[in-house]
Structure 1
């Protein structure tokens, strides 16, 4: 039997980080619970103070296939490199011509830097100067790669 799961990203500003990942993944803000028109309506009904409405966020695959991602406000800052990260696979794989792979990686990374990401490093294929992937950080410093 499998276990249902999601990924949760700890952050200081869940709404900000959720918007970035919507851009990166093509996701959308998750719908409010069944029976509610908006998240605000749901939170109000639960008597959650408005000051706490950005304590969490959730985004979903608009096709309903891939797992949702949650964002949780935490008080402590990120202190070290992530041990788990996402690889955004945009290049088409190693069977594609290298110039196309590199163009796809760089074009997508440009979109993400415009959305708030930072490029950490270009990572070459082993023992070459040929680009394999880019290591980036989201607006709050969470690591991910564009491959």
Structure 2
């Protein structure tokens, strides 16, 4: 596969794009490099606009593009796919307490942006593999995890 994007149904694509831009560190313009066919395609689709209101791109050009597709119906039921965010970068040198601190900092930032917390799990039975994750909902109710 040379290119793929993740498409997320949204009632308010702009709102979700702004939320996920902050959550992921993505931007609403395609990256200049690497200079791939797809990034050139998206830059051409801007057609003079400064940015996309409903699309996001990894500024490094490595991660998938995100498109927030407008749909009329509300979200119903549990997601069959969700994103996992790792603000700790899965750094094994962090102590369990440090992991919790980093995760909780990101969770607080996301709550400020309109996310809600569904549940928290902390299990440090094995200090070498301390698990800490928080299940959240984005502003339209889509589930995701922060770990």
TM-score tier (shorter): 0.7 to 0.9
Q: 2: CA distance between counterparts of 1:110 and 1:103?
A: 11
2:10 counterpart of 1:11 = yes
Residue 140 of structure 2: aligned partner:
140
2:32 counterpart of 1:29 = no
Post-superposition shift, 1:64?
Answer: 1.3
Q: 2: CA distance between counterparts of 1:62 and 1:92?
A: 17
Q: 1: CA distance between counterparts of 2:90 and 2:62?
A: 22
Residues 29/94 of structure 1: CA separation in 2 closer, same or farther (3 Å cut) = closer
Post-superposition shift, 1:3?
Answer: 4.8
Q: 1: CA distance between counterparts of 2:57 and 2:90?
A: 25
Mapping of 1:1-147 within 5 angstroms?
2-31=1-30, 33-34=43-44, 36-38=47-49, 57-93=54-90, 95=92, 96-125=94-123, 132-147=132-147
Q: 1: CA distance between counterparts of 2:107 and 2:49?
A: 32
Q: 1: CA distance between counterparts of 2:121 and 2:72?
A: 32
Is the Cα–Cα contact under 8 Å of residues 120 and 135 in structure 2 kept in the other structure? yes
Q: 1: CA distance between counterparts of 2:124 and 2:100?
A: 16
TM-score normalised by the chain length of structure 2? 0.79
List structure 1 segments (4+ residues) > 6 angstroms apart after TM superposition.
Answer: none
Is the Cα–Cα contact under 8 Å of residues 92 and 101 in structure 1 kept in the other structure? no
The root-mean-square deviation of aligned C-alpha atoms, in Å, is: 2.6
TM-score normalised by the chain length of structure 1? 0.79
For structure 1, the 5+ residue unaligned runs are 41-52
Is the Cα–Cα contact under 8 Å of residues 138 and 144 in structure 2 kept in the other structure? yes
Which has the larger Rg? 1
For structure 2, the 5+ residue unaligned runs are 31-41
Is the Cα–Cα contact under 8 Å of residues 91 and 102 in structure 1 kept in the other structure? no
Q: Across the two proteins, how many residue pairs are aligned to each other?
A: 131
